[in-house]
Amino acid sequence: MKSLVDEFINYLAVERGLAVNTLDSYNRDLNQFRGFLEKEEINDMQRATRNIIMAYLLFLQKRGRATATVSRHLAALKSFYHFLLKEKYIEKDPTANLESPKLEKKLPHILSVSEVEMLLNQPKGTDPASLRDKAMLELLYATGIRVSELIFLDINHINLEMGYIRCFGKGSKERIVPVGSFARKCVNEYLQKGRVKLVKTNSEQSLFVNQHGRRLTRQGFWKIIKKYARRAGISKDITPHTLRHSFATHLLENGADLRSVQEMLGHADITTTQIYTHLTKGRLREVYAKSHPRA
């Protein structure tokens, strides 16, 4: 069974050019399904029926997996069995016409403008780590890029003079995002006074590095933003995407058009960006309720 999964993953990498993180996700989900089949004493993924796959999805739900997680597993299985059908390993696709469970649209947590300012003002020192942390937080809020995109920035991906960064999003898609003057100033200060003291070798290309001079990890950034949220006294649930969500919402609140925000966020589908309009409508209702004499 493993050889089929490996062949499929190789196809996704070579033929479709998917990012490493996406390949890892497919591999993990399919191997979990393979483990389920083995417990059911099915030793061939080609023998999985529609009923077996439905039983697997039910198994995931009973284990408390989120609707989005179950949908992701089904999407992986659909892609896998479509590949097996195309390569003539199977004669019938067991996932055909199987629909994903309805996703609950959860509005993302955002910070108010004043809360963002409190958070960004927390790194106050002039030591290399503080300069780095300040630059990272400012850059995240200035651009709305994902944390994964932030930590994979190299020094040649940022043009401070022209005021933009070049980042690579899902599926390794490249996009250019403008950077505001305040973030440019903080990144420049970090490059001049912070990064030079953190890196151990001239060959290191990562923009943001840890105390060992190597590329900062997502987990490392997670600890950093949690620390500063505590210092700022922010009780809201902070995630690595909080500044990204706040960036999008604040832009829309101040008149930015949806298409421009979609492009900056790197969303393939504008419906993904539209979730932020629900937040701005909620804000408008709140303002109306507080301000209108007959609300």
- pLDDT for the residue numbered 157: 96
Q: Are residues 124 and 79 in the same domain?
A: no
Question: Are residues 134 and 219 both part of a single domain?
Answer: yes
CB of 30 closer than 8 Å to CB of 6: no
In the predicted model, is pLDDT for residue 95 greater than 60? yes
Residue 280 has a pLDDT of 66
> Residue 285: what pLDDT?
62
User: Are residues 165 and 122 located together in one domain of the fold?
Assistant: yes
- Chain centre to alpha carbon of residue 157: 19
The partner residues of 174 in beta bridges, in order of sequence, read: 168
Decide if 100 is inside a domain. no
> In total, how many domains does the chain have?
2
When pLDDT is averaged across residues 136-161 and rounded to a whole number, the result is: 94
Domain of residue 217, CATH code: 1.10.443.10
Average pLDDT over residues 37-61: 89
> Is residue 102 included in any domain, yes or no?
no
Based on the residue annotation, tell me whether 267 is a catalytic residue of this protein.
yes
Residue range 23-36: mean pLDDT, rounded? 92
Task: Clarify whether residues 48 and 174 are in a common domain.
Answer: no
pLDDT in tens, 2-17: 788 999 999 999 888 8
Q: What is the pLDDT of residues 53-91, one digit of tens each?
A: 999 998 998 888 888 888 899 999 999 999 999 999 999
In this structure, the number of other CB atoms found within 10 A of the CB of residue 287 comes to 12
> Are 73 and 197 in a shared domain?
no
Average pLDDT, the chain: 88
Residues 164 and 282 in one domain: yes
233 is a domain residue: yes
146 in active site: yes
140/208 same-domain check: yes
Query: Would you list the DSSP string of 109-167?
Result: P---HHHHHHHHT-----SHHHHHHHHHHHHHHHH---HHHHHT-BGGGEETTTTEEEE
Q: Is 194's pLDDT higher than 90? A: yes
Provide, rounded to the nearest whole percent, the portion of the chain with pLDDT above 70: 91
Among 146, 195, 245, 250, which one carries the catalytic annotation?
Answer: 146
The pLDDT, as a whole number, for residue 236 is 87
Question: CB of 122 within 8 A of CB of 231?
Answer: yes
Residues 130 and 214 in one domain: yes
Whether residue 149 is contained in a domain is answered as yes
Q: What is the pLDDT of residues 150-168, one digit of tens each?
A: 999 999 999 999 999 998 8
Give the domain CATH number at 54: 1.10.150.130
Residue 101 included in any domain: no
Domain that holds residue 54: 2-86
Per the document, the length of the chain is: 295
Residue 147 lies in a domain: yes
Assigned domain for 98 exists:
no
Nearest-angstrom CA–CA distance, 32 and 290 = 51
Residue 105 lies in a domain: no
Give me the sign of the Cα torsion angle 258, 259, 265, 268: positive
Catalytic residue among 50, 109, 166, 170: 170
245 is catalytic: no
One domain for residues 235 and 275: yes
* 177 three-class SS: strand
Reply yes or no on whether 276 is catalytic: yes
List the one residue out of 8, 99, 101, 103 whose CA is nearest residue 46.
8
Catalytic residue of the set 184, 244, 245, 250: 244
Residue 268 to residues 14, 41, 115, 247, 262, Cα–Cα distance (Å): 21, 40, 29, 18, 8
Sheet containing 164-168: order of strands: 158-159, 164-168, 174-178
Catalytic residue selected from 26, 190, 228, 276: 276
Sign of the torsion formed by the C-alpha atoms of 9, 218, 155 and 229? positive
Residue 234: pLDDT band with limits 50, 70, 90: very high
